[in-house]
Amino acid sequence: MIEDLLANRKFEFPVERAVFLTVLHRIMDPGSDRAAENWRSAYSISGMDTIDLHHLYRAMAWLGEELADQQGSSLVPRINKDVIVEQLFAKRRSLFNDVGLAIFDTTSLYFEGDGGTTLGRHGHSKDSRPDLHRMVLGVVIDETGRPICSEMWPGERARERGNTADVTTLIPVVTRLRDRFLLNRVCIIADRGMVSAKTIATLEAEKIEYILGVREKRSVEIAAVLADKTRSYR
């Protein structure tokens, strides 16, 4: 798929091998592209003889390159990465295996240094770094645990009680996912601090399922449920 997308591009190195190295490195020993170049010297990985650090940078830049056709884009532009995951999904999908339930797990990250000036936002941070730009990352998997795609969008600006994922950002992302992958059901997983009461009400109105993590010691309701020894749970 990568080679097909690069048919009219004149990259003079194997882009697929550069992408493979960065993915393998992030699975085994997460770090930067520079760290990946040093890390690979300790292992025998096919096709690495012609790969240098600047090739890793160019491959990553190509994956994040905006498409000329932006139809279907929402909070962030469509990029080459989106085409790849959509083609991978279509390749393994048949007429009779639509995704019954998609799990959409979200979290927030922050940029170090000067990064994130376009995608990131300043505001309340669960990592106690309000001085850095933040973004929201969502990973979508199917019922079997197979990854479907990942999504990124700007972190929300500070509100009354901090930085939460608002309806105006979360719902459009879910809508886009449903349209792209024909998802029947979507279940959003998030930290309670990321989702506002208004968002929860809208999720229920839109019949979007959700699972929120809460701190037991900070929730009277949760503590009361767990203290009830007459009930059993799966």
**Domain ranges for the chain:** 2-63, 80-214
Q: What is the pLDDT of residues 18-46, one digit of tens each?
A: 999 999 999 999 999 999 999 999 999 99
Alpha helix stretches (DSSP H) within the chain: 2-5, 15-28, 33-39, 53-63, 80-92, 167-181, 197-205, 220-227
- How far is Cα of residue 157 from the mean position of the Cα atoms in its chain? 19
pLDDT at 95: 60
Q: Fold for domain 80-214?
A: Nucleotidyltransferase; domain 5 (3.30.420)
Q: What is the pLDDT of residues 94-118, one digit of tens each?
A: 666 677 888 988 887 888 777 666 6
Predicted confidence band at 158 (pLDDT cuts at 50, 70, 90)?
very low
| Separation between Cα atoms, residue 155 and residue 164, nearest integer Å | 8
Q: What is the pLDDT of residues 189-227, one digit of tens each?
A: 877 666 677 778 888 888 888 887 777 666 676 777 777
Predicted confidence band at 162 (pLDDT cuts at 50, 70, 90)?
very low
Q: What is the pLDDT of residues 43-89, one digit of tens each?
A: 999 999 999 999 999 999 999 999 988 876 767 788 999 999 999 99
pLDDT at 93: 77
Structure tokens of 83?
């085409």
| 51 contacts 39 by C-beta, under 8 angstroms | no
**185 or 53, which is more confident:** 53
Q: What is the model's pTM?
A: 0.75
pLDDT at 176: 85
